[in-house]
Structure 1
Amino acid sequence: MSEGVDQNKRRFLTLLTTAVGAVGAGFAATPFVLSMTPSARAKAAGAPVEVDISQIEPGQLLTVEWRGKPVWILRRTKDMLAQLPQHDDQLADPASKNTDQQPSYAQNTGRSIKPDILILVGICTHLGCSPQQKLAIGPASGLGEDWPGGFFCPCHGSKFDLAGRVYKNVPAPTNLPVPPHMFLSDTKIVIGEDKKGAA
């Protein structure tokens, strides 16, 4: 038997051991790397939502879900639109100057792309309750003679008009958010995506 060390065998075994170790480390790391990527369910939950609005009658509100939140789509009547500028003095941010609450294309009196279609995230900006629709005006709403229609949060009494603008002297600090959206046609909209891309 030879007393000397076979350098070729030693190099081969070192390379083989290193290769097997690297492959093993790769297999061990794969589950950890995969756990950091979003699941198909998570991707679907954040995906844009396409909505057919052809069946929404004037004065009717449709609720859909986007990113686990209720999104309201209200087809406003001519009377509802006429009410909007008449109570600006009672609103905290009538001109929607807080640009975090709506995309630039919805920074107008109606907070919408098309005047008759309002799209809002239906979550109160105070503590996250879901306001109730109080679209009836006056005493029929249960909110007093001068109520012009809008939304009322029963948790702490915040009030929002028919553009989702918050009234003064209520707990909610800001207007209801307008999500990114765009019209694919007169009857189809996409919520969660606009011309700039997905939100």
Structure 2
Amino acid sequence: MDTNQTDEDRRRFLRNATVATGGVGVIGVAIPFLETMAPSEAAKAAGAPVEANVSSLAPGKLMTVEWRGKPVWILHRSDAMIAGLGQHNDLLADPDSSKSEQPAYAKNPGRSIRPPFFVVTGICTHLGCVPGFRPEPGAPDLGANWPGGFYCPCHGSKFDLAGRVFKNVPAPLNLVVPEYNYLSDTRLLIGEDKKST
């Protein structure tokens, strides 16, 4: 029996076993390290699109969903609400939404893809307060010419039922319309439009 050959076989075996063990160790250390660089589930969810089901949302009612830590309102406008949108443009600072932030498909009098459903970020463009939903036209505390809409109690900014800002209030711009699209007649995806899907 050749002891030199046996020693060489042992060395080869030990070298291969050491390399394999070291490789497993490197992989074992690298995986948790690389996982710490990936965004957390909370971070992914914070920017991820949000799905909303509007099948049970009755005309004249408002629902709120959260997207990117902000309230997003979905208003199911009644036929009367839609018909009233063009009747008070003289009271508005930007009736055509030329200075406001909204996707191109929402740059219309109703600021929406489909007139009955209005999707808007529920944050006042003045200092970030959350306006209240005040749909009743002619509310005594808001004046006889109030067409219904959103009123910010912090500093008195007013917005109509398309989120368009009134003249002579602190808010400089219309409410922001986020990107969104329809997955079906009753399901919306907020935070992503058709071009990016």
TM-score, normalisation: structure 2: 0.81
Tell me the matched-pair count.
174
Structure 1 partner of 2:113: 113
Q: Which residue of 2 is the match for residue 82 of structure 1?
A: 83
How far, CA to CA, are the matches of 1:35 and 1:111 in structure 2?
41
Aligned residue number for residue 102 of structure 1: 102
After superposition, the C-alpha distances for 1:102-129 in whole angstroms (9 at most, x for unaligned) are 0000000000000110000000011110
The aligned counterpart of 1:92 is 93
**Counterpart residue type for residue 127 of structure 2:** L
- Which residues in structure 2 correspond to 1:1-199 (within 5 Å)? 31=33, 34-98=35-99, 101-139=101-139, 142-197=141-196
* Separation in 1, partners of 2:47, 2:139: 40
- What are the Cα deviations for residues 118-168 of structure 1, in whole angstroms up to 9, with x where unaligned? 00000001111000000011135x311111000000001100000000011
SS at match of 2:139: helix
**CA deviation string 1:26-60 (max 9, x = no partner):** x69x74x6544321111012111111101010100
User: Secondary structure of the residue that 2:176 maps to in structure 1?
Assistant: coil
Which stretch has the larger CA shift, 37-46 or 149-158?
A: 37-46
Amino acid at match of 2:50: V
Q: CA RMSD in A?
A: 2.1
Which ranges in structure 1 are unaligned for 5 or more consecutive residues? Answer: 1-19
- Partner of 2:129, secondary structure, is coil
Query: How far, CA to CA, are the matches of 1:91 and 1:35 in structure 2?
Result: 50
Q: Which moved more, 1:176-185 or 1:37-46?
A: 37-46
Q: Hey, what's the Cα distance between the residues in 2 that align with 1:74 and 1:139?
A: 19
Aligned-partner SS, 1:85: helix
Tell me the secondary structure at the aligned position of residue 88 of structure 2. Answer: helix
Give ranges in structure 2 of 5+ residues lacking alignment.
Answer: 1-21
Which residue identity is paired with 2:179? P
Give the Cα separation in 1 of the matches to 2:154 and 2:35. Answer: 41
Report the 3-state secondary structure (helix = DSSP H, G, I; strand = E; otherwise coil) of the residue aligned with 1:82: helix
In structure 2, C-alpha distance between the alignment counterparts of 1:46 and 1:182, rounded to whole Å: 16
Q: Which runs of 4+ in 1 moved over 4 A?
A: 33-36
Amino acid at match of 1:143: L
Q: TM-score, normalised by structure 1?
A: 0.80
Rounded to whole Å, the distance in 2 between the matches of 1:136 and 1:72 is 17
1:172, CA displacement in angstroms? Answer: 0.7
